[in-house]
Structure 1
Amino acid sequence: MTISQLLDITERKKAEEERLRLATGVYQAAEEIIITDTDGNIQYVNPAFEKITGYSRDEVIGKNPRILKSGKHDKKFYKNLWNTILSGKTWNGEFVNKKKDGTLYIERASISPVKDNSGRIINFIAVKSDITEQKKTEEALKESEEKFRSLVENAQDAIYIITPDGFEYANPAFEKLTGYSSEEILSKDFDFRNLIHPDDVKKIEEREKVRGQGKELPGRYEFRIVTKDGKERIVEARTASIGKGKKVRVIGILRDMTERIKAEEKMKRILEQEKEFKLATAHYFFNPIAIAKGYIDLAMEKASDEEQVEKLKAAEHAIERVEKVVKNVTQRGEIRE
């Protein structure tokens, strides 16, 4: 045997091993692999195809992949697919197909032409993945995001997301509260400190310093902001940090407390005025009552007959009743003995 013959055998052995590895890889692949002739008739399917579609190899060999059609795609869809692969290009896209049991499923596919040494297309090979569960997850996530966005967009509280580079998001309530448009807020030139009342800037800076040190901060705090038209508003802030360092994002909620605090201060003044009124009223009544009771006691000491004593006792009882009423009015706000 010559050296050239030995080399030829070696090369053929390597080629055979390579073909075996390729065949094993195709056979064991988790993705569906389908090989058709140029008319689309199936010549090969791997076990993954059988597992996913429910069709056995014997049931589909010689048939067209249209057995999987679900009716969800129009003629234009398939025409575009065929025009792409017949022109020698690879088609990438998604199918809604139907399994043997009638169940619809979604798959991501890549279909490529196979060419011989002369460049002539001799087969088509499709590699497909079942992405049904992935699509369901994506749809659920999308629905969840839409619900969350709807809640945020319609919230009465001002909600924002801010990064070290500036605002990333601000809802309509934030625009209403501050008077700035979303375009202004999301601009790179807009600084959060533009909103903070000058006397409260130090408070916020100290919080940011503590945040930067990785220490815990109270979830809620109050400060004043100055709106675009120069009005002062008192807000209650709740913030939460996501991430660390330069990648940190702060989600914040601002609740306008101005009217509530004004109402509380007004109520406090009313209560103080009421207290002062009660004290003044008590002083106004109790002094004369004490004097009257004193005179009655003196009169009773000097009374010479029983009739006079009885009358003085009646007067004393009447004064005591008045005294009880005044006490209830000034202490409890109730007109009763």
Structure 2
Amino acid sequence: MTIFNTSIFATYILLPISPGNLEMILLSLLLLALAIILFLGRKYYILQHNSKRQTDSILNNIQDGVYRCDLDGNLIWVSPSALKILGVDSLEKVEHANVNDFYVDSTQREELLRRLREDGKAENYETLLERMDGRQIFVNCNASYWRDDNGKILGIEGVFRDITEQKRTKEALVESEEKYRSLVEGAAEAIFSVNYDGVFLFMNKIAARRLDGIPENFIGKTMWDLFPKHIADSQIVSIRNVFDSGIGCSSETVTILKGKKHKYITNLQPIKGNSGKISSVLGVAQDITSFVKAQQDLEIERDFVKSLIETASSLIVCLDKYATITMFNKAIEKLTGYSRDEVLGKSWADIFLPEDHCHHKINNFEDWIRKHPIDSLEGQIKTKSGELRTILWSNSTFFHPDSDDFTVIVVGQDITDRKIAEQERIESETRFNESLEYSRDILYRLNLKTNTYDYM
């Protein structure tokens, strides 16, 4: 809508100036000025109204809380988002509230005021507030003085943001990183990470110590800087296979450290970056050199003991807690006529005890062994041919530390011939004594007939 017609005023302006029309021209100019003022005023009102609507829209939709208070801390105005952060459901509930009511620690409010006095503003100030519902939250606040047109300080205005979840997430991340660091540094294995080019990106203290240094000495160096070329060439193949396939692997590797050969079990796993692509390979290397050496020594010792058992003239048998045969040497094979394959895994009582002889110790073998882990006894066994042989047994028991099982090592001596010889000796002595008594009886009777008493 047009407020005034400029052509009319132009007509008056073009008229010759005379006492009669001068008044008309001045009146027209006055009306023109008034029309311009009204036009600009309306435009300013529209702009101001739109600006207020935009400001209100921004304040209603931003996540940050905005507030204004006087110098005593009495709240004058708060934004809807500030009410939400503080757990207030209506503006009326904070009309007479004081910002000090929301501080958990009053000294934090005093620190904010100190910064304002010294710097005129406080930026990125973290503090702990208590909501209306009693829940405590961390906020990040930016505040400054609120002044009038003459620069007089009227109060404080500021913007604050709820950073509780952000802070908790950060604390959880720090805690997680600390646990990870403690785990990595406390591990007994060497842990490291390398990129596709074989450059070390990370190394824990154990790994660095085995290289006779600290992690800072080796991070940024390549595998070829630290190991002989043929070893580095071999290791980089496994690392790049993990990069290319995205699949971890585990293998035995050999490394030269301080001039000595060490054997490792190395586990390699791909590590993905923020882009989802593999950025590095994490390696965990367990030094098994001592274990391999101990295993080799154990095998040598085991072979030596096995050789002794096989060449021993004594009968050697091993039984488990159920009296099942687990070892059977050549000497007892020769005596009984049974081969090792025929008896292993079978019951000792079922094979070797005579049919008419059920030894009471076999009936409850496990209990008897636990009460007599080391003992000796004499008993008969039945050979494959049915012959009975008398054996003097000595047993020693090894109890397994990680279970209730045990192994009984039984060593025996065949005393059958000795028992027969002993029995024959006893029978011979018996016959001799009987003959002697008989002879004495005859002599006694002869003496009676001759009236001669002989005290033989």
The verdict on a shared fold, with TM-score over 0.5 as the criterion, is yes
Is the 8 Å Cα contact of residues 195 and 226 (structure 1) preserved in structure 2?
Answer: no
Secondary structure of 2:245 counterpart: coil
Q: Deviations over 1:92-120 (max 9, x none)?
A: 21111122343322111121334455555
Q: Deviations over 1:250-277 (max 9, x none)?
A: 2211100101112223334445566777
Name which of 44, 48, 65 aligns with 1:15: 48
Q: Deviations over 1:229-263 (max 9, x none)?
A: 32221111112121379971222111001011122
In 2, the alpha carbon distance for the partners of 1:49 and 1:232 equals: 67
Residue type of the alignment partner of 1:141: L
- 1:181-330 map, 5 Å: 181-186=214-219, 188=220, 190-212=221-243, 214-217=244-247, 219-227=249-257, 229-243=258-272, 248-271=279-302, 281=311, 322-324=334-336
Aligned-pair Cα RMSD in Å: 3.7
Secondary structure of 1:156 counterpart: coil
Hey, what does 2:95 align to over in structure 1?
61
Secondary structure of 1:73 counterpart: helix
Structure richer in helix, relative to its length: 1
Q: Is residue 82 of structure 1 aligned with residue 116 of structure 2?
A: yes
CA deviation after TM superposition for structure 1 residue 13, in Å: 0.9
Hey, what does 2:437 align to over in structure 1?
none
Hey, what does 1:174 align to over in structure 2?
207
Residue type of the alignment partner of 1:258: T
Identity of aligned residues (%): 23
**Structure 1 alignment gaps of length 5 or more:** 285-318
Larger RCO, structures 1/2 (Cα 8 Å, 6+ apart): 1
Residue type of the alignment partner of 1:251: L
TM-aligned CA distance change 1:249 to 1:207, over 3 Å: same
Hey, what does 1:52 align to over in structure 2?
85
- 1:144-155 map, 5 Å: 144-155=176-187
CA deviation after TM superposition for structure 1 residue 12, in Å: 2.6
Residue type of the alignment partner of 2:298: M
Secondary structure of 1:248 counterpart: strand
- 1:99-114 map, 5 Å: 99-114=131-146
Quick check: which has more Rg, 1 or 2? 2
Structure richer in strand, relative to its length: 2
CA deviation after TM superposition for structure 1 residue 74, in Å: 5.0
In 1, the alpha carbon distance for the partners of 2:123 and 2:246 equals: 53
Residue type of the alignment partner of 1:77: E
CA deviation after TM superposition for structure 1 residue 192, in Å: 2.2
Q: Which moved more, 1:60-69 or 1:254-263?
A: 60-69
In 1, the alpha carbon distance for the partners of 2:93 and 2:332 equals: 109
Q: Is residue 41 of structure 1 aligned with residue 71 of structure 2?
A: no
In 1, the alpha carbon distance for the partners of 2:270 and 2:47 equals: 59
TM-aligned CA distance change 1:322 to 1:335, over 3 Å: farther
TM-aligned CA distance change 1:327 to 1:201, over 3 Å: farther
CA deviation after TM superposition for structure 1 residue 63, in Å: 4.0
CA deviation after TM superposition for structure 1 residue 6, in Å: 1.9
CA deviation after TM superposition for structure 1 residue 216, in Å: 4.7
In 2, the alpha carbon distance for the partners of 1:221 and 1:118 equals: 79
TM-aligned CA distance change 1:57 to 1:217, over 3 Å: closer
In 2, the alpha carbon distance for the partners of 1:11 and 1:320 equals: 119
Q: Which moved more, 1:217-226 or 1:238-247?
A: 238-247
Q: Deviations over 1:34-87 (max 9, x none)?
A: 112344331111233333324442233244311112126357523423325xx5
TM-aligned CA distance change 1:278 to 1:193, over 3 Å: farther
Name which of 108, 130, 135 aligns with 2:162: 130
Name which of 54, 70, 82 aligns with 2:104: 70
TM-aligned CA distance change 1:254 to 1:102, over 3 Å: same
In 2, the alpha carbon distance for the partners of 1:158 and 1:321 equals: 51
Name which of 115, 132, 156 aligns with 2:188: 156
**Structure 2 alignment gaps of length 5 or more:** 4-34, 314-330, 345-408, 415-456
Secondary structure of 1:91 counterpart: strand
Secondary structure of 1:249 counterpart: strand
- Number of residue-to-residue matches in the alignment: 294
